Amino acid sequence: MKLNWRLYFTVMGLIALFLVIYETNAWAVWTKEDTQVVRVENPQSQSAPEEKQKEILEGEFTVINKDENMNDEKVVKNEKQAEEGIIPTRIRIPSIDVDAKIESVGVLDNGEMGVPEDPLKAGWFEPGTQPGNRGNAVIAGHVDSKTGPAVFYHLDQMKKGDEFTVTGKDGKEKTYVVQKLESYPQYNSPIEKIFGSTNEKRLNLITCTGEFIRDKGGHQDRLVVYSTLKEPKETVPSPTNVQVSGAFLTWYAVREDDIAGYRVYESRDGGETFDKVASVSQHERKAYSEPKASEYEYYVTAVNKDGTESEPSTIAGE
């Protein structure tokens, strides 16, 4: 049988090209789009020892900083959780098509955060904050494995404003909104910022990113997606007992600590349109004077210190 040398060299060339792509991880580079990840080169104003930076262990996406560990005092561990927290069992990120199970992970004997064995599952840092509570809850996931893309392969494609949901074992859901994306050198990441205390209700997602060092078995950087809990819009009670008497409009104060004041709306066309005619501070008398008040209609709203306005009170007058 006569050998077709042209076909032989074509096949061998394709094989060589495939090996080059595999060794350089070029496929991941070609398939990644522009991201909003901000590279933070030196978040703690210090560098890890040079010899430690040579060691990159395969699959250790949870190694945040080799100079410290998850037993460090900077890592907040909540022994008692508030009632609104959940034990997460599933995470859904529509913008990058993630729908994955979550395992609870802890601290390994070497002080590192544990990892899920299944690359298609994410791991919640159980000793830390529960999603829904004040503090930094943390969920981490692999970016890839020997068999291909893993659960957080497209995490760097998330954008500020994206929403994602975690579901608890009791079926309750918590929705979070992405605030920013930052990447750090593997051995110089801000543990306190990621795992430390805060009055906000945060959930931080972690994975590997940056150049893949084939002979070291891992990626050189760590990506953190910072998000905050999306809470129901605050409601402000409406003023009550709104009455017109002669030239005066009066109402009862709203018994809430954060009320800044009240807005008075007036209609002179039988309730067709209402225009704001006064703003009354919380510490002032709850009244508005108008010589022809008895001829018009009014409603009053309460406004809290964040600027949220209540629904209109009942209409008074006429």
Q: Which of 164, 195, 229 is the last residue of a domain?
A: 229
140 within a domain of the structure (yes/no): yes
Phi-psi region of 132 (alpha: psi -120 to 50; beta: other; left: phi over 0): left
pLDDT tens column, 256-313: 888 999 999 999 998 889 999 999 999 999 999 999 999 999 999 999 888 889 999 9
Q: Which of 174, 209, 229 is the last residue of a domain?
A: 229
Q: Which residue has the higher pLDDT, 22 or 38?
A: 38
Per the annotation, the verdict on 142 as an active-site residue is: yes
**Residue 26 to residue 108: CA distance in whole angstroms:** 33
pLDDT tens column, 141-150: 988 887 888 8
17 within a domain of the structure (yes/no): no
Q: What pLDDT, on the 0 to 100 scale, is given for residue 11?
A: 61
**260 in the same domain as 222:** no
**219 in the same domain as 102:** yes
**Residue 318 to residue 316: CA distance in whole angstroms:** 7
**132 in the same domain as 80:** yes
**254 in the same domain as 201:** no
Q: Which of 195, 229, 263 is the last residue of a domain?
A: 229
Is the predicted pLDDT of residue 137 greater than 90, yes or no?
A: yes
**198 in the same domain as 288:** no
Is the predicted pLDDT of residue 71 greater than 80, yes or no?
A: no
Is the predicted pLDDT of residue 19 greater than 80, yes or no?
A: no
18 within a domain of the structure (yes/no): no
Residue 22 pLDDT grade (very low, low, confident, very high; cuts 50, 70, 90): very low
Residue 27 pLDDT grade (very low, low, confident, very high; cuts 50, 70, 90): very low
**Residue 189 to residue 140: CA distance in whole angstroms:** 14
**185 in the same domain as 249:** no
CATH code at position 274: 2.60.40
**224 in the same domain as 246:** no
Is the predicted pLDDT of residue 18 greater than 90, yes or no?
A: no
Tokens of 160: 């500020």
1 within a domain of the structure (yes/no): no
Question: Could you count the other beta carbons within 10 Å of the beta carbon of residue 106?
Answer: 13
Q: What pLDDT, on the 0 to 100 scale, is given for residue 307?
A: 85
CATH code at position 116: 2.40.260.10
Three-state secondary structure along 147-192? CEECCCCCHHHCCCCCEEEEEECCCCEEEEEEEEEEEEECCCCCHH
Q: Is the sign of the CA dihedral 145, 150, 153, 158 positive or negative?
A: negative
Question: Could you count the other beta carbons within 10 Å of the beta carbon of residue 235?
Answer: 10
Per the annotation, the verdict on 208 as an active-site residue is: yes
Range of 139's domain? 34-229
Domain count, the chain: 2
Annotated active-site residue in 154, 208, 219, 283: 208
Residue 68 pLDDT grade (very low, low, confident, very high; cuts 50, 70, 90): low
Is the predicted pLDDT of residue 213 greater than 90, yes or no?
A: no
**246 in the same domain as 222:** no
**256 in the same domain as 133:** no
pLDDT tens column, 75-87: 666 655 556 799 9
54 within a domain of the structure (yes/no): yes
**287 in the same domain as 154:** no
Q: What pLDDT, on the 0 to 100 scale, is given for residue 39?
A: 58
**266 in the same domain as 156:** no
**293 in the same domain as 213:** no
State the amino acid at position 69 in one-letter form.
N
Residue 99 pLDDT grade (very low, low, confident, very high; cuts 50, 70, 90): very high
Q: Which residue has the higher pLDDT, 185 or 126?
A: 126
Tokens of 128: 């830390």
Q: Is the sign of the CA dihedral 221, 70, 231, 198 positive or negative?
A: negative
195 within a domain of the structure (yes/no): yes
Report the mean per-residue pLDDT for the chain.
Answer: 80
Annotated active-site residue in 142, 154, 219, 283: 142
29 within a domain of the structure (yes/no): no
25 within a domain of the structure (yes/no): no
